[in-house]
């Protein structure tokens, strides 16, 4: 059996020869013509480069349009952010300007969520591993002095009562067994680990689904109850939420089925395209507001330390609140595979860095 890497759905699957594999689906990235940069050398060891995290750490208002957010210094006016309902063919670069790509991106957008956190765990490290760089919010460990907002996406929904018994959500945890929900569904979220670090923080985290409209209509709030796998250096984690509502679970499953069907169609259309990507799409909740899409250029791969694992640089607009949102390179569905990454850092006002590229979307 090969080594194990996480797939988009949050489970773990064998992936042969992962030491020699990378974000180019089995080919050497340099041979594919991609510009590659490394991290930085610390005590003789190569570590990944980082910039500024993009958690909105003093969010006082969630939902609604960005037009009400006038104090942003990174993207004043937010002209490069498109509300999901308004995102259309005209916003796509010409090589990808077709209904299949548009429908696929909108299906991906359906699954993007907002995470709102009001407590910082004692478990957060003081510094990023192997560096002297301070870890986000380490100064607030053990306090509720934050109102942090980031983004993420739904990677799986499944019924859990047969496997796990009674519901594990915060409401049910406080009840006697006879009052707990018998039928419940687990909703698995992918985000950046600097957004939600561990289960202590997860239990204090609200997750908002379907916030696509200015008036917030149709949005649904779930409470997370646990963090699953998390990796600090590669900066991703899986957060588990619970819902008792079969309609919410069914809607999410239908959205995931639609995304998977469109993904298969994308693979068929582009499986013989070997060109490196030229554009990137980000879908997130900037400043904790409603969901937005931005489109930019793919700038090149970035090696994550000494491993054959990559992130990538791009110019799609992001703002505080975008951390953990989904980053999708157009024609990142090379050779029969499509991969996404959570947003990690802003390097400059115009260039950003994704997290680990390798989550199947």
Let me know whether 148 and 195 are in one domain.
Answer: yes
Please give the model's pTM, rounded to 2 decimal places.
Answer: 0.86
Which range (47-56, 81-90, 286-295, 339-348) has the least confidence?
Answer: 47-56
The confidence score (pLDDT) of residue 149 equals 97
pLDDT exceeds cutoff 90 at 61:
no
> 207 with 221: CB under 8 angstroms?
yes
Let me know whether 124 and 100 are in one domain.
Answer: no
pLDDT exceeds cutoff 90 at 306:
no
On whether residue 243 sits in a domain, the answer given is yes
pLDDT exceeds cutoff 70 at 18:
no
The confidence score (pLDDT) of residue 302 equals 83
Let me know whether 138 and 236 are in one domain.
Answer: yes
Kindly state the average pLDDT of the residues 268-289.
82
Which range (65-69, 84-88, 89-93) has the least confidence?
Answer: 65-69
On whether residue 16 sits in a domain, the answer given is no
HSE-up of residue 325 (Cα within 13 Å, Cβ side): 37
On whether residue 24 sits in a domain, the answer given is no
Q: Which residue's structure tokens are 């929904």?
A: 157
On whether residue 5 sits in a domain, the answer given is no
Distance CA 61, CA 82 (A): 19
pLDDT exceeds cutoff 70 at 131:
yes
On whether residue 56 sits in a domain, the answer given is yes
pLDDT exceeds cutoff 60 at 307:
yes
pLDDT exceeds cutoff 80 at 29:
no
Q: Which residue's structure tokens are 């947003």?
A: 343
pLDDT exceeds cutoff 70 at 318:
yes
Distances, alpha carbon 110 to alpha carbons 215, 219, 271, 326, 338, in Å: 17, 11, 24, 11, 17
The confidence score (pLDDT) of residue 46 equals 44
Per residue, what are the HEC states of the chain?
Answer: CCEEEECCCCCEEEECCCCCCCCCCCCCCCCCCCCEECCEEECCEEECCCCEECCECECCCCCCCHHHCCCCCCCCCCCCCEEHHHCCHHHCCHHHCCHHHHHHHHHHHCCEEEEEECCECCCCCCECCCCCCECCCHHHCCECCCEEEEEEEEEEEEECHHHHCCCCCHHHHCCCHHHCCCCCEEEEEEECCCCCCCHHHHCCEEEEECCCCCCCCCCEEEEEEEEEEEECCCCEEEEEEEECCHHHHHHHHHHHHHHHHHHHHHHHHHCCCCCCCCEEEEEECHHHCCCEEEEEEEEEEEECCCCCCEEEEECCCCCCCCCCCEEEECCCCHHHCCEEEEEEEECCCCCEEECCCCEEC
Kindly state the average pLDDT of the residues 220-238.
94
Let me know whether 223 and 236 are in one domain.
Answer: yes
For residue 257, what are its two tokens?
A: 């089925």
Let me know whether 135 and 149 are in one domain.
Answer: yes
Single residue among 251, 285, 303 that ends a domain in this structure: 251
Let me know whether 129 and 103 are in one domain.
Answer: no
Which range (50-54, 103-107, 201-205, 242-246) has the least confidence?
Answer: 50-54
Residue 265 burial (10 A CB sphere; 0-12, 13-18, 19+)? middle
On whether residue 11 sits in a domain, the answer given is no
Distance CA 257, CA 244 (A): 20
Let me know whether 118 and 200 are in one domain.
Answer: yes
pLDDT exceeds cutoff 50 at 335:
no
Tell me which of 52 and 48 has the higher pLDDT.
52
The confidence score (pLDDT) of residue 338 equals 60
CA dihedral sign of residues 267, 269, 272, 275? negative
Single residue among 251, 279, 301 that ends a domain in this structure: 251
Chain mean pLDDT for the chain:
83
User: Within its chain, how far is the Cα of 288 from the centroid?
Assistant: 14
pLDDT exceeds cutoff 70 at 254:
yes
Kindly state the average pLDDT of the residues 332-361.
78
On whether residue 198 sits in a domain, the answer given is yes
pLDDT exceeds cutoff 90 at 44:
no
Distance CA 337, CA 101 (A): 15
Work out how many domains the chain is built from and give that number: 2
The confidence score (pLDDT) of residue 360 equals 64
Let me know whether 293 and 350 are in one domain.
Answer: yes
pLDDT exceeds cutoff 90 at 235:
yes
pLDDT exceeds cutoff 50 at 31:
no
CB atoms within 10 A of CB 150: 32
The confidence score (pLDDT) of residue 10 equals 35
Let me know whether 73 and 122 are in one domain.
Answer: no
The confidence score (pLDDT) of residue 68 equals 82
On whether residue 13 sits in a domain, the answer given is no
Kindly state the average pLDDT of the residues 145-162.
93
Kindly state the average pLDDT of the residues 8-12.
34
The confidence score (pLDDT) of residue 42 equals 45
Let me know whether 60 and 131 are in one domain.
Answer: no
The confidence score (pLDDT) of residue 341 equals 92
pLDDT exceeds cutoff 60 at 152:
yes
Kindly state the average pLDDT of the residues 242-267.
93
The confidence score (pLDDT) of residue 30 equals 40
| Boundaries of domain holding 161 | 113-251
Percent of the chain with pLDDT over 90: 57
Distance CA 316, CA 108 (A): 16
Q: Which residue's structure tokens are 């765990």?
A: 121
Single residue among 233, 251, 269 that ends a domain in this structure: 251
- What does residue 148 show for φ and ψ, rounded to 5 degrees? -90, 140
The confidence score (pLDDT) of residue 289 equals 96
Kindly state the average pLDDT of the residues 221-233.
94
pLDDT exceeds cutoff 80 at 16:
no
Let me know whether 306 and 271 are in one domain.
Answer: yes
Let me know whether 126 and 223 are in one domain.
Answer: yes
């Amino acid at each position: 059996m090969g080594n194990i890497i996480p797939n988009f759905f949050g489970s773990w699957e064998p992936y042969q020869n992962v030491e020699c594999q990378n974000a180019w689906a089995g080919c050497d990235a340099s041979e594919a013509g991609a510009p590659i940069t490394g991290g930085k050398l610390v005590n003789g060891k190569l570590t990944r480069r980082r910039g500024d995290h993009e958690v909105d750490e003093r969010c006082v208002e969630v939902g609604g349009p960005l037009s009400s957010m006038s104090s942003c210094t990174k993207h004043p006016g937010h002209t490069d952010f498109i509300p999901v309902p308004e995102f259309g063919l005209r916003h796509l670069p010409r090589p990808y300007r077709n209904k299949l790509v548009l429908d696929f991106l909108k299906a991906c957008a359906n699954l993007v969520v907002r995470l709102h956190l009001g407590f910082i765990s004692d478990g957060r490290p003081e510094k990023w591993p192997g560096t002297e760089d301070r870890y986000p919010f380490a100064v607030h460990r053990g306090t509720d002095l934050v109102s942090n907002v980031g983004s993420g996406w739904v990677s799986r929904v499944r019924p859990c009562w047969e496997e796990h018994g009674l519901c594990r959500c915060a409401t049910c945890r406080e009840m006697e067994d006879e009052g707990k929900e018998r039928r419940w569904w687990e909703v698995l979220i992918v985000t950046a680990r600097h957004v939600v670090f561990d289960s202590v923080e997860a239990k204090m985290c609200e997750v908002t689904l379907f916030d696509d409209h200015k008036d917030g209509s149709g949005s649904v709030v779930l409470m997370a109850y646990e963090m699953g796998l998390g990796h600090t250096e590669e900066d991703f984690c899986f957060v588990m939420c619970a819902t008792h509502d079969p309609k919410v679970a069914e809607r999410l499953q239908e959205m995931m089925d639609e995304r998977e069907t469109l993904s298969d169609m994308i693979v068929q259309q582009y499986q013989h395209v070997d060109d490196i990507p030229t554009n990137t799409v980000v879908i997130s909740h900037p400043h904790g507001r409603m969901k937005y899409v931005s489109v930019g250029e793919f700038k090149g791969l970035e090696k994550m330390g000494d491993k054959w694992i990559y992130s990538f640089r791009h110019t799609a607009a992001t703002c505080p609140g975008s951390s953990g949102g989904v980053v999708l390179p157009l024609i990142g569905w090379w050779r029969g595979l499509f991969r996404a990454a959570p947003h990690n850092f802003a390097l400059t006002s115009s260039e950003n860095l994704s997290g680990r590229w390798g989550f199947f979307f």
